[in-house]
Amino acid sequence: MAGTSSGIVAGLTVAAVATVGVLTFQASANVPGGPGTARASASPSAATSKAPRDRRNPAALPAGSGKGERVVYSVDDDRVWLVGPSGRPKRTFAVTPGTVDPAPGTYYVTSRANSVTGTDGTPIEHVVRFTSTGGVAIGFSAAVHGTAPDTESTARTGGIRESREDGEAMWEFATIGQQIVVIR
């Protein structure tokens, strides 16, 4: 009798493990890119071409930069827009990029740190990270002493530097899971 019971238990265990494996495969096949990964845009050309700009107002939110609440970062214009739920910018400001740019796409805030030392050795605050490229973390931050990044450095840096005031606004706006749209 003990042999029959252990055989039944073993059979049920094998069936359960196989079922979990099938369900895991099905779930992973239907999940879009997770936090920190870019998702394909609706239009492949949007990721490779520059988003349309208002020539009369260069600081205006570019058309085709997404919908709803989000942070929009233009790598070509070195500019950020904090966009509210209505789709209208709440704030826009210039930034100084690191030496490594994120690829155009949609990302999500994956981690934050109130204060750390940047890869260039500068004390920074209000760090909002959203991806990494080639092992380099990419995110927004403000230098504690307001210093600009060393443009002569050969270090690979992914810090997108903001003023302290803009860094505070980003910190308040871009919490974990907030959408970040990177455009050209």
Distance of CA 83 to the CA centre of its chain: 15
Question: What pLDDT is recorded for position 153?
Answer: 67
Place of tokens 């919490």: 175
DSSP result, 117-148 = E-TTS-EEEEEEEEEEETTEEEEEEEETT-PP
Mean of pLDDT values over 94-114: 95
Residue pLDDT, tens place only, 120-132: 788 999 999 999 9
For the chain, give the percent of residues with pLDDT over 70: 68
Confidence (pTM):
0.71
